[in-house]
Amino acid sequence: MKNLIIQILISIGISGAFAQNSPPPVNFTTQEDHQNMKDQLGIKTLRPGPSGNESAPNHANYDLSLADPCPVLPEILTTNNGKKVTSVEMWNTVRRPELIEEFEKNVYGRIPQNVPKVNWEVKITDREFVNRIPVVAKELIGRVDNSDYPAIEVNIKMMLVIPTNVKGPVPVLMMFGRPSFPAPAQPSLEDLAKINDSFKEMMIKNDPEMKEMFEKYPAYDPISRLPVPSFFTPAKTEEELTPQDRLLAAGWGFCTIDPASIQADNGAGLTRGIIGLVNKGQPRSPEDWGSLRAWAWGAARGLDYLESDSLVDAKKVGIEGVSRYGKATLVTLAFEPRFAIGLIGSSGKGGTVLHRRVYGEAIENLTGSGEYHWMAGNYLQYGTEESKFGRKTGCDMAVDSHELIALCAPRPTFVSYGIPEKGDSNWLDQRGSYQAVIAAGTVFKLLGVKDLGVSNDYRKEIMPPVLTDMLDGQLAWRQHDGGHTDAPNYKYFIPWASKNLGYEKSNP
């Protein structure tokens, strides 16, 4: 009888997930998923995260004297068995794998071995003008093979824009964000007239009363051209240039990849997206990947496509993001060695800021139900007050963000922040990021490239004044005088990146 029912379901097109006896996806709320992970870990109580409102009773700490409860950081260049790392080979074969293992197990989670393949297709190719620069724009869809669990579909959205007025292939900066055509090409006036004639005819056929309406307004056309830029539009001023404008002017392409099309930015979505697809709709285990690692995986799949596109110099593809996508950018650059360069904007805790620091956003904010989905389930242990394993804080972490930055070496790594007065708030702990960058410099130097050019004494080096350029090495720092964005630093990032990648714009 059971087999008969299954055959009937198949015959009427019910989802293959049920036909294959796979359970439907679990529909947890964020709170339910969070509690499920606490139960798996044996956690009874998590400490609440502080408030970003400085007038709130539980406001975050902004007293520098209290910011470093455990000021001595884990040694980057000391192996787990206490040996000093003295060579590039020892870093690559011993220490780097040790750090990756710890970050995967207890911080960002592991990518499963059975993640399905992604098949890319070019949905639309459009020729446009962006600030008078001719470009080709490609709308791309990366369809993840869901044949093992058809109940969940994952289609990665990406937009690639390449200048056509330079000799290619060109470097490309991949950006986490919402893809869209920058300046869609539109029909000529003659073609638009034909479209309107056909549209009117179709409307009249559907509703004969429309004939009288169009006769009443004979000069009216239902469809008109949109006011989009063209080659004949005046060029923007320096102040009006967007990061994308600057990239194209420098002979770079850019692509935008949609994190939400890879994995939702909430705990309820952990049984959907790529994480849910691989888990067949079931909740995560403590070492499973979180959203940051999933977004990084998606970026790597986007890079797979770029490696196949003849317009792209795949050896010169960078990765960029701001805020939570700044965190994802750092995770991507650290774990995916094919990315050549990175621009990490205002990433805060979980990004370039030291986890063990207690200034602004705290580790408890990342272990609470609002942001835990970014991390591995095991990360919750560091916000635990009561559990079967006792109490833990950031000081119990075996690794910290200086070591994640070090995993990017020797590739050029640009860390960007703004200022609190313009909206890049103290909550982000710019000082905690600077300390991590300083400490990470030892690995850049070991691997034969330059760091910030100061000592690596993270306990004594003082964050430089705003607008100070620390761009002489492959590890770079610049705090602009804007808000929660990295846009003001593109003017400095692009020439720095071109120099480090050995790229010079040339005419075709």
The tokens for 60 are: 């975050």
Which CATH number fits the domain that encloses residue 378? 3.40.50.1820
Q: Tens digit of pLDDT for each residue in 187-218?
A: 767 777 787 778 878 888 888 888 888 777 77
Quote the pLDDT of residue 229. 58
- Would 51 be classed as within a structural domain? no
Q: Tens digit of pLDDT for each residue in 138-187?
A: 999 999 999 999 999 999 999 999 999 999 899 999 999 999 999 887 77
| pLDDT at 9 > cutoff 50 | no
The SS3 assignment for 320 reads strand
Mean predicted lDDT score pLDDT of the chain:
93
Q: What is the SS3 string spanning 234-273?
A: CCCCHHHCCHHHHHHHCCCEEEEECHHHCCCCCHHHHHCH
- Would 43 be classed as within a structural domain? no
Q: How confident is the model at residue 227 (pLDDT cuts 50, 70, 90)?
A: low
DSSP for 359-418? SSS-HHHHHSTTTGGGS-GGGGGGGEEEETT----GGG-S--HHHHHHTTTTS-EEEEE-
The percent of residues above 90 in pLDDT, for the chain, comes to: 82
- Would 198 be classed as within a structural domain? no
Q: Tens digit of pLDDT for each residue in 290-316?
A: 999 999 999 999 999 999 999 999 999
- Judge contact between 287 and 379, C-beta under 8 A: no
| pLDDT at 97 > cutoff 80 | yes
Q: Tens digit of pLDDT for each residue in 110-134?
A: 999 999 999 999 999 999 999 999 9
| pLDDT at 16 > cutoff 60 | no
Total structural domains within the chain: 1
Q: Which range marks the domain in which residue 487 is found?
A: 82-183+234-501
Higher pLDDT, 35 or 217: 35
Quote the pLDDT of residue 507. 87
**Contacts with 161 (C-beta within 8 Å, 6 or more apart), sequence order:** 130, 135, 136, 137, 138, 182, 244, 248, 253, 254, 255
Quote the pLDDT of residue 230. 58
Nearest CA to 302 out of 290, 293, 314, 292 is that of 314
- Would 25 be classed as within a structural domain? no
- Judge contact between 29 and 271, C-beta under 8 A: no
Quote the pLDDT of residue 223. 76
- Would 141 be classed as within a structural domain? yes
Q: Tens digit of pLDDT for each residue in 454-506?
A: 999 999 999 999 999 999 999 999 999 999 999 999 999 999 999 999 999 99
- Would 334 be classed as within a structural domain? yes
pTM attached to this predicted model: 0.91
Beta bridge partners of 344: 321, 415
- Would 355 be classed as within a structural domain? yes
Q: How far apart are CA 412 and CA 501, in angstroms?
A: 8
- Would 3 be classed as within a structural domain? no
